[in-house]
Amino acid sequence: MKKLGNYIAGNWVEGEGEGQTLFDAASGKALYQAGSKGIDFQEMLDYGRNTGNPALRKMSFQERGRMLKALALHLQSHLEEFYTISYQTGATRADSWIDIEGGIGNLFSYASLRRKFPDEPICTDGEPVNLSKNHSFTGHHLLIPREGVALHINAYNFPVWGMLEKIAVNLLAGVPAIVKPATVTSFLTEAVVREIHASGILPAGALQLICGSTGNLLDLLNSQDTVTFTGSASTGLKLKSNPNILRENVSFTMEADSLNCIVLGEDLDPSRPEWDLFVKEIRKEMTVKAGQKCTAIRRIFVPENRLEEMGKSISKALAQTVIGNPSNEKVRMGSLAGQDQRKEVRGQVQKLLASSQIIYGSMDEVELVDADSVKGAFMSPLLLLNEHPFAAEDAHGIEAFGPVSTLMPYKHLDDAIALSKKGKGSLCSTMVTANDRIAKQYVVGAGTHHGRILILNQDCAKESTGHGSPLPMLVHGGPGRAGGGEEMGGERGVKHYMQRVAIQGSPTTLTAITSIYQPYAKQTLDIKHPFKKYFEELQIGDTVVTHKRTVTESDISQFANLSWDHFYVHTDHTSLEGTIFERPVAHGYFILSAAAGLFVDAAKGPVLLNYGIETCRFLKPVYAGTTIGVRLTCMEKTGQELKEGESIPKGIVKWYVDVYDDSGESVLIASILTMVRKKTSAI
């Protein structure tokens, strides 16, 4: 029997003793032993903090993002190895696709997210704040990677996705991870970590693994560390209440299993396409991963006059599900993760039956393909009916973490909203309706109790990712019973692993700290126009002060004719009474265009193209007779890697555009982007 390893301080170490025996969930065959007895957890933390953390902190967001992309591509080349092992967890090919390729997809998503961050190890948060009358004292918020480790304690249901969706975020933030998967399916996590280690893509100390108990690890954490937990609310509460976690104020994010719900709108009946979408969503959420998903639908709310019809529709759909050996291509639902899990689910169902009845499925019998119901942890999908959801609380407080869901009636939409809240907080909810008024009422009414709400109708159904699919760029978490935390969420998730610090000082000093030009900072004037400088030659603060131009009535008239923008404030002298304008005002976009005419260097040079306008604000009216000038300043630089088929090394430069009038006051402030050639391409 193979013994799983723990990846500790750069070495694979087996736990002392026999450890816990792990089984093939479908066949019942003993496969592995896992344990972490004898491991020095202080050594783990020291290695992560002193080796992994400094290595990641030195890297810029761009370098970390490219590292994630390389890792994702590497893991993609080993998919079949992971699928073969995943069958042993009871997961079908489709289940494993969500877990394995879904997890790798998170790596790709966060690799792409690097474009939202600077080419620096740190980043700013929000906009600068002027703190003085003469603009010599300003403030900003800075985000700096914490100096600790991210400890991820994951659930058994997604041994790959659960790890990769979390480490993608902390690695992009510049913080190393210690991953502790649930032991029962940790053999799949271990296989993936072995391949990550073999790739050599991550720096030493960036990722460590525990296949067993965390021992006294929680007692050794400090305020620079972060804990994320996925699992039961009771276990999460126990961990979160650890005296050391409380004493050290260790950041703790919990994503707990919750009683997620789906609601059928009052506007729907069996003739509508949304009826079938509703049924399809329920069947999928009850059978994918055998219902072992923290986002699975546990409560089904339908108008009371549709209760019987809906029960028959769901039952018919469930009857079409082929259950059995997960490696058999005909099978659509595999086993639960193990015999203990099946026993747990059956026990919870017995509690639910105190106020409900089974209308589809059997507690004791299940028809299987290519599998043994005694040796394997198989279970029939169970659809329960609770006819009095306001009187019977069981369905709103007891979760059977398997292919189990309860159908319940409601009278009016307000009742559905109230029932959705009785779960006391969930990860996600779905409203199926073709009526946008109903959708809005539900979202506004129920939104306080759910981390994510899907509005499903025929317009979005073809491309919808579904009720149970957390997305990398959206937050995953929920209030109350769901844990009160948030994971992923794009930039929000990255910031979770960084310390926000307010900084104050002169704009010039803050420019030096942030590597982003701050308004009113000192500018560097050079005889050489910035547009004649290669990417590497440009320095933050490099500025050109242009010649000036006087705006004429002819300019305004001609721009109106050219652009077809004949808005009255630009062209009609007789319609200005009651407006803020004294006479026809120049178009804001004419001022921006005129500014470009002033600051652009016309000769061929390193600037390849205009990449876009990021921000633009018109501050003061410009009338005919006003003379304008421009200060163009290099604001920020981000290098780009060469893509396949490209031959020109380049980077993106953000410019601060300050257009001012005769009095020296700014009339327009903008930030524009250009693509600039790197000098390495010059001959």
* Rounded CA separation 22/159 (Å): 14
Question: According to DSSP H, which parts of 501-624 are helical?
Answer: 507-514, 553-563, 568-571, 588-599
Distances (CA, A) of 527 to 59, 531, 533: 34, 12, 11
**Active-site residue, from 294, 399, 487, 634:** 294
Residue count (the chain): 683
- Compute how many other C-beta atoms are within 10 angstroms of the C-beta atom of residue 570: 19
Q: 169, 488 in Cβ contact below 8 A?
A: yes
**Active-site residue, from 14, 255, 281, 487:** 255
160 is written with which tokens? 């790959």
Q: Helix and strand tally (H, E) in the chain?
A: 21, 30
Q: 540, 517 in Cβ contact below 8 A?
A: yes
Nearest 5°: the CA angle 329, 333, 337 is 115
Locate the DSSP E strands across 339-433: 357-360, 382-385, 404-410, 429-432
Q: Which residues, in sequence order, are CB contacts of 420 under 8 Å at separation 6+? A: 261, 263, 299, 301, 426, 429, 446, 449, 450
* Rounded CA separation 243/283 (Å): 43
Angle (deg, nearest 10), helices 273-287 and 307-319: 50
15 is written with which tokens? 């736990």
* Rounded CA separation 195/188 (Å): 11
Task: Tell me if residue 255 is catalytic.
Answer: yes
Q: 89, 188 in Cβ contact below 8 A?
A: yes
3-state secondary structure of 435: coil
Q: Which of 183, 138, 185 is nearest to 158 (CA)?
A: 185
* Rounded CA separation 11/175 (Å): 20
> CB-side exposure of 676: number of CA atoms within 13 Å?
25
- Compute how many other C-beta atoms are within 10 angstroms of the C-beta atom of residue 126: 9
* Rounded CA separation 106/159 (Å): 14
Catalytic residue set:
255, 294
